[in-house]
């Protein structure tokens, strides 16, 4: 999902932001030739995501550091599990500690929350997908974390597909006209999705022959009716106002996908510590 080149650019920004000119505390308190071994430990149960990113950050700051990842992305670990060990110059370890922990805690939090939402869908045919509501600059990493938690990725960016929302439709004049215009120069194999918040729009989207129909903020009753109207002629995505306590009821209407920003924007940060 992410490549080293793009990740290194981000790591450089994170290190520059956190360190500034130097780590004054480390330089004053730790001898230049001091070495040490430290361990990252999970302080609560979690799903791992971004362990290689944290390792890469440490060695990019100081290539002399020896980092061993003791888990891999998508692993489920319990409280107290040792997940990474780093050895080498003590100054460097303590200087790079915080940004390494920050990104790892964020990504593991997203993976863990995704897994929680996915678990609520067990026994249904509905798949969990993410949205473009991600932290600016961190989209590829956060979407990778979603997959580590068992979710699927929606569009990675605006160039990944055509999604016609209410404003696009208003400008075109109707759903049919909007779809016709989009289809004229549509790249081969690219799908068209239409956002619908009323049942009459669902019927119009079917008439236009779209690939995916998004049921936006519909009631359970309307979603149930929409699934019957569509009857397998298009894939169905439910979105808007999805919560952990409502997601299963929505899935039981028969939709193919449920998308939510809660797994990225509202995922709690998990607790990971660096201990000697």
Phi and psi (nearest 5°) for 255?
-70, 155
CA distance linking residue 215 with residue 235, whole number of Å: 11
Task: Clarify whether 195 is annotated catalytic.
Answer: yes
Task: Clarify whether 177 is annotated catalytic.
Answer: no
Catalytic residue among 116, 132, 133, 183: 133
Task: Clarify whether 98 is annotated catalytic.
Answer: yes
DSSP assignment letter at 162: E
Catalytic residue among 9, 72, 79, 165: 165
- Residues 136, 157 contacting (CB under 8 angstroms): no
Task: Clarify whether 256 is annotated catalytic.
Answer: no
Buried b (16+ CB within 10 A) or exposed e, 6-41: ebeebbeebbeeebeeebeebeeebeeeeeeebbbb
- Residues 145, 108 contacting (CB under 8 angstroms): yes
Catalytic residue among 113, 216, 237, 256: 216
- Residues 115, 13 contacting (CB under 8 angstroms): no
Catalytic residue among 23, 142, 195, 237: 195
Task: Clarify whether 91 is annotated catalytic.
Answer: no
Catalytic residue among 43, 98, 116, 132: 98
Q: Which SS3 state, helix, strand or coil, does residue 257 take? A: strand
Would strands 257-259 and 235-239 be described as parallel, antiparallel, or unpaired? parallel
Residues involved in catalysis? 98, 133, 165, 195, 216
């Amino acid at each position: 999902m992410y490549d080293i080149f793009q990740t290194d650019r981000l790591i450089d920004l994170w290190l520059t932001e956190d360190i500034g000119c130097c780590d004054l505390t480390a330089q004053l308190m730790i001898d230049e030739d001091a070495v040490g071994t430290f361990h990252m430990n999970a302080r609560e149960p979690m799903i791992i995501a971004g362990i290689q990113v944290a390792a890469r950050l440490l060695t990019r700051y100081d290539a002399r550091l020896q980092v061993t990842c003791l888990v891999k992305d998508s692993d489920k670990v319990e409280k107290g599990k040792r997940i990474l060990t780093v050895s080498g110059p003590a100054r460097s370890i303590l200087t790079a500690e915080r940004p390494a922990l920050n990104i790892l805690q964020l990504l593991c939090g997203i993976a863990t929350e995704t897994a929680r939402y996915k678990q609520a869908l067990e026994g249904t045919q509905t798949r969990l997908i993410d949205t473009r509501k991600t932290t600016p600059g961190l989209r590829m990493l956060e979407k990778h974390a979603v997959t580590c938690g068992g979710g699927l990725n929606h569009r990675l960016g605006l160039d990944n597909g055509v999604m016609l929302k209410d404003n696009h439709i208003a400008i075109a004049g109707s759903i049919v006209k909007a779809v016709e215009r989009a289809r004229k120069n549509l790249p081969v194999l690219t799908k068209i999705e239409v956002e619908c918040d009323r049942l009459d729009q669902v019927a119009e989207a079917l008439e236009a022959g779209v690939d995916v129909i998004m049921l936006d903020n519909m009631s359970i009753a309307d979603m149930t009716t929409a699934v019957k109207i569509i009857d397998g002629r298009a894939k169905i995505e439910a979105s808007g106002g999805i919560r952990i306590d409502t997601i299963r009821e929505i899935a039981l209407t028969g939709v193919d996908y449920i998308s939510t920003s809660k797994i990225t924007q509202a995922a709690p940060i998990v607790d990971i510590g660096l201990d000697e």
